[in-house]
Chain A
Amino acid sequence: MGAAALELSDVRFRWPGRDGFGLEVPSFRLARGESVLLLGESGSGKSTLLSLICGIVTADSGRVEVGGTDLASLRAGARDRLRAEEIGVIFQQFNLLPYASVADNILLPLRFAPGRRARAAAGDVPMLCAALGLPEGIGKVRAGRLSVGQQQRVAVARALIGQPPLIVADEPTSALDAATQDTFLGLLFDRIAASGASLLMVSHDERLGARFDRVVRLGDIARRERAVA
């Protein structure tokens, strides 16, 4: 078995002061280059799981390893650095800083990740934009002026710049219509295949499963915990 891009083992976490909502993940593994669709309904703990994976919060017990590094062993600043270096994040919507140019939005993670900055080449921004079907010269356009579909593609370019080994996408197609969804996913998978990154996409849409190496139901790998009133 090769080194995992992401591995969770015996993870337990409970939000402080949030009605005691907690999550328990006995075991989950994402191999390098693998794509996994994580299916879960609203309120099933997807956001909590992504917060744990991205190191925004740390597990009360157990291990969350990104690229072989246990996040709990790092201080907060180092976790922020690891997130910038190792993980490209795509949100559901409102992905971009609307007042910044497309180029600045794409280059933003490199500001916090020297390793990714070193890997990125000068022509990466126009190259990624072109590969994602964005019009030429879009780099100078303010992100707030783009359509939702274009914004999601820019978010993909931002997640891929500097070739992070893990891409985490939180329902990136939910704001897109069916035709645009298909095009978007095609482009996303093409670029991820080209970069060799692993992809963990969270969604409630089972129809997307055909494109992924594996489809995992959140309920199968995690248990929700409610505090006893």
Chain B
Amino acid sequence: MIFRLALGSLLARSLTVGMTVLAIALSVTLFLGVEKVRTGARASFADTISGTDLIVGARSGSVQLLLYSVFRIGNATNNVTWESYQDIAARSEVDWIVPISLGDSHRQFRVMGTTPAFFDHYRFRGGRSLRIGAGAGLDDLYDTVIGAEVAATLGYEVGDPIVVSHGLASFTAHEDQPFRVAGIIDRTGTPVDRTVIVSLAAIEAIHVDWQSGAQVPGRATPVDRIREMDLTPEAVTAALVGVKSRLQIFGLQRWINEYPEEPLLAILPGVALQELWQIVGVAETALIGVSAMVVVTALLGMMAMIFSSLNERRREMAIWRAMGARPTTILGLLVLEAALMAAIGALLGLALLYAGLFVAQPLVDRAFGLWLPIEAPTLREARVLASVIVAAGVASLLPALRAYRLSLADGMMVRI
């Protein structure tokens, strides 16, 4: 009966209670949403590459190497010479090796030179392979396979021409050697979606007449002659390596890191990701802290609402007291009402979160390549909701104690 009466009391003040519940709901949605995006981002990053044991690049920082080689964020400070690449490829521990050559772009998208082996060995989301949904792979020197995001953003279809620009923010383009869209990769939710993939030989081909980042004036080697040239690269940006046995990973890593011919760095993608999380952990904590403060603010608003309603509810409390209710019953009633408001707010917040996820999931995936999974609430989320309800009960203790004192002083003789 007390529960029913508490609910009835809340319904009787539906406007103010509704606003308070909405504030709690929105704060819970924000808090859980930040958490979803955070875990989704981590999962998305972790899912970007799988099955690759080592990433090799010029010596720099492990996070930097991971970012430019896998996520196309930032740039390499140096390259790996082709001789070094071949030395690594010749190691007995190496099962497969895929070179990556970065540096050019098409519109806002990165161009990556690689070999057909990339399509055989690159894995994402726990072992999924790339699938060319439209067209075919890199058969001709000037063929390109583009990611789903590139195709969607630029409206490209198989057979469309593509001109690669030199560098990342350059006004000079390799117009003399246009490419053709040979295939479009199905959406992966990884940076591959935003990548224009060409062959390693093609990267060499478009730079035949270039020196020091600029085209040599007056030199324009015909395409037919270029096709006949030896287009073996002098250097690559990085390489993805798979080893025959996992037991050999650390031995090979040490050998590469101590390679005497040039300074190289071999990293384990998972370990580098952990380092990345440590770096962004502070920002994550700050973000969680801010959203937690929003929840606290909503609960303070609820506390202020209960405080402001106390005076107009003195008559009601007098009735309770006249019927034999103890002051502690009055206190408990107010705490119960607060917990009910928080519970309704928390559940509404959860519902808003899932509604938001249903709407935002494809948009976020398309815009940021971030896949936010829609799954049943986790134990952690259930704990967050329970904490909000408990915190609401605690926050309501202050006005409830005031009501307790008022009911002691007023008794049942309030004349309003």
Q: Which residues of A are in contact with B by a Cβ distance under 8 Å?
A: 47, 50-51, 54, 56-57, 76-77, 80-81, 83-85, 89, 91, 94-100, 104, 107-109, 111-113, 144, 158
| Chain B interface, >50% SS class | helix
Nearest chain B CB to A215 CB, angstrom units:
23
Contact (Cβ within 8 A) B413 A97: no
Determine which of A54, A85, A97 lies in contact with B412 in the assembled complex, contact meaning CB atoms within 8 Å: A54
Contact (Cβ within 8 A) B11 A56: no
| Chain A interface, >50% SS class | helix
23 A-B pairs whose Cβ atoms sit less than 8 Å apart in the complex: A47-B413, A50-B412, A54-B411, A54-B412, A56-B321, A56-B411, A56-B412, A76-B326, A80-B324, A91-B319, A91-B322, A94-B315, A94-B416, A97-B8, A97-B320, A99-B5, A99-B8, A100-B8, A104-B4, A111-B1, A112-B324, A113-B324, A158-B323
Q: Which residue of B lies closest to A76 (CB)?
A: B326
Q: Does B229 contact A (CB under 8 A)?
A: no
Kindly list chain A residues whose C-beta atoms are within 8 Å of the C-beta of B413. Answer: 47, 50-51, 56
Contact (Cβ within 8 A) B326 A77: yes
Known: A83-B322, A89-B323, A99-B9. 5 other contacts (CB 8 A): A85-B324, A97-B319, A99-B11, A104-B8, A113-B324
Contact (Cβ within 8 A) B411 A51: yes
Determine which of A83, A97, A99 lies in contact with B324 in the assembled complex, contact meaning CB atoms within 8 Å: A83
Nearest chain A CB to B219 CB, angstrom units:
89
Given known pairs A98-B12, A99-B8, A100-B8, the reply for A108 and B323 (CB within 8 Å) is yes
A107 to B2, CA, bound (A): 11
Nearest chain B CB to A49 CB, angstrom units:
10
Q: Does B47 contact A (CB under 8 A)?
A: no
Contact (Cβ within 8 A) A51 B412: yes
Q: Which residue of B lies closest to A96 (CB)?
A: B319
A85 to B324, CA, bound (A): 8
Most B Cβ at <10 Å: residue of A76, A85, A94: A94
For the complex, count residues of B whose C-beta is within 8 A of A.
25
Q: Does B316 contact A (CB under 8 A)?
A: yes
Contact (Cβ within 8 A) A80 B5: no
Q: Does B325 contact A (CB under 8 A)?
A: yes
Q: Which residues of B are in contact with A by a Cβ distance under 8 Å?
A: 1-2, 4-5, 8-9, 11-12, 315-316, 319-327, 329, 411-413, 415-416
Nearest chain A CB to B51 CB, angstrom units:
63
Contact (Cβ within 8 A) B322 A112: no
Kindly list chain A residues whose C-beta atoms are within 8 Å of the C-beta of B415. Answer: 47
Given known pairs A50-B413, A57-B411, A97-B319, the reply for A107 and B1 (CB within 8 Å) is yes
Q: Which residue of B lies closest to A112 (CB)?
A: B324
A150 to B3, CA, bound (A): 26
Q: Which residue of B lies closest to A54 (CB)?
A: B412
A144 to B245, CA, bound (A): 78
Determine which of A77, A84, A94, A98 lies in contact with B323 in the assembled complex, contact meaning CB atoms within 8 Å: A84
Q: Which residue of A lies closest to B414 (CB)?
A: A94
Most A Cβ at <10 Å: residue of B323, B326, B415: B323
Kindly list chain B residues whose C-beta atoms are within 8 Å of the C-beta of A144. Answer: 12
Contact (Cβ within 8 A) B325 A104: no
Given known pairs A51-B411, A54-B411, the reply for A109 and B8 (CB within 8 Å) is no
Given known pairs A47-B413, A97-B5, A104-B4, the reply for A112 and B323 (CB within 8 Å) is yes
Q: Which residue of A lies closest to B1 (CB)?
A: A111
Nearest chain A CB to B233 CB, angstrom units:
79
A144 to B320, CA, bound (A): 16
A96 to B5, CA, bound (A): 12
